[in-house]
Amino acid sequence: MIEPIEGKSILETKKIIAQRLVGTKGHPLETLTRENEQLLKVIEGLVEQLENGEDINLTKLRQISIHYAKKGDLLYPLLKVKYEIAGPSDLMWTEDDEIRDEIIRLDKKDVHDNEWLSRVKDVLAKAKQMITKEERIFFPMCAINFTEDEWKEIYFDAKDYSTCFDVEENLWEEAGQKVSKTVESIDDEIVLPGGHLTLAQLTALLDTIPMEITFVDDQNINRFFNDYGQPKLFKRPDMAIDREVFSCHPPKIEPVVRKIIEDFRTSKKDLVPIWMNKGGKTVLVTYMAVRDKQGNYLGTVELVQDMEFAKKHFEK
């Protein structure tokens, strides 16, 4: 945590440091702030159209989900878990989800009646208020707590997200180059019941399987994510490794995750498949209990698979 600037209060220090980071080209806060500036233009344009009695399209506004996903994956958990500041995670994350979900619901409606218009005005106001909360409260809170190394991790993890409101991420020169994770002791073999592999072979094998694999151990800690070379449907920031899995989920989803893992831990269930639509794609998310030969619970594996190929196959 950064100490207060001499002669300045904590609040003034937060604002000064946040302004400094926002003014640093390529810094994550600079990118997020530019996204907010473009979001505000989109909101104001829609409000003007409504005032002129014009029909509006909310498709572009739905890109707000990218901005909110960055906060939810990269900022909220770090603030809550490491710095024990839970307010933003418990409150703002829920508001983000409510705003995003309402925009999606409204965009899908064909009838734009008075009720629809009222709901649109309400969600636009809430989205605008969230911009203010981010810039006056949340960003300064992150600025005064996060270390430069943590910001660098956020900077590199943020590259996995789609462009939001046409805001391209600038180069942050101070971040340098991302250090690639290396596989150590590649000549040492791991002996398994079904054979033996070098660590390099095992890593490559797991990264070749065409699905997103996440392993959470019996202490509910994220231990492993694979990387099969495709854009992930569910982002898995490197900085989430060794972090409690519950911290990586928004408040409304956390109880569901807790229930699944508890059912696995107590042997009530071994498998929970969930079909969903994610980004216009049919997706199968499978949660499975991982047990040893004696049935002892070792953890939970999550398998995320894009099922569009199967859908297209059976449509032929």
Domains of the chain listed by start with CATH number: 10-175 (1.20.120.520), 189-315 (3.30.450.20)
Cα dihedral 229, 231, 235, 237, rounded to 10, equals 50
Instruction: Look up residue 309 and give its two tokens.
Output: 């190929």
In the chain, helix, strand, coil percent, each to 5?
55, 15, 30
Residue 227, judged by CB atoms within 10 A of its CB (0-12, 13-18, 19+), counts as middle
Q: For the segment 194-251, what is each residue's pLDDT rounded down to a tens digit?
A: 899 999 999 999 999 999 999 999 999 999 999 988 888 888 888 999 999 998 888 8
Cα dihedral 223, 253, 81, 142, rounded to 10, equals 120
pLDDT block averages, 10 residues each, the chain of length 316? 65 82 96 98 97 95 97 94 89 96 95 95 98 95 94 94 96 82 63 89 94 97 91 88 91 93 98 92 96 96 93 80
Q: Which of 38, 29, 32 is nearest to 165 (CA)?
A: 38
Residue type, 266: T
pLDDT of residue 180: 59
Give the C-alpha separation, 167 to 59, whole Å: 17
Asked if residues 62 and 126 have their Cβ atoms less than 8 Å apart, the reply is no
Give the C-alpha separation, 297 to 295, whole Å: 6
Q: DSSP label at 171? A: P
Instruction: Look up residue 107 and give its two tokens.
Output: 């965009």
pLDDT of residue 3: 64
pLDDT of residue 1: 54
- For 278, the 3-state DSSP assignment is strand
Q: Which of 40, 185, 197, 224 is nearest to 125 (CA)?
A: 40
Instruction: Look up residue 241 and give its two tokens.
Output: 């490794």
Q: For the segment 254-282, what is each residue's pLDDT rounded down to a tens digit?
A: 999 999 999 999 999 999 999 999 888 89
Cβ contacts of 147-150, under 8 Å, gap ≥ 24: 148/174, 150/78, 150/239
pLDDT of residue 113: 94
pLDDT of residue 13: 76
Give the C-alpha separation, 99 to 266, whole Å: 36
pLDDT of residue 158: 95
* pTM for this prediction: 0.82
Helix H or strand E encompassing 97: helix 93-108
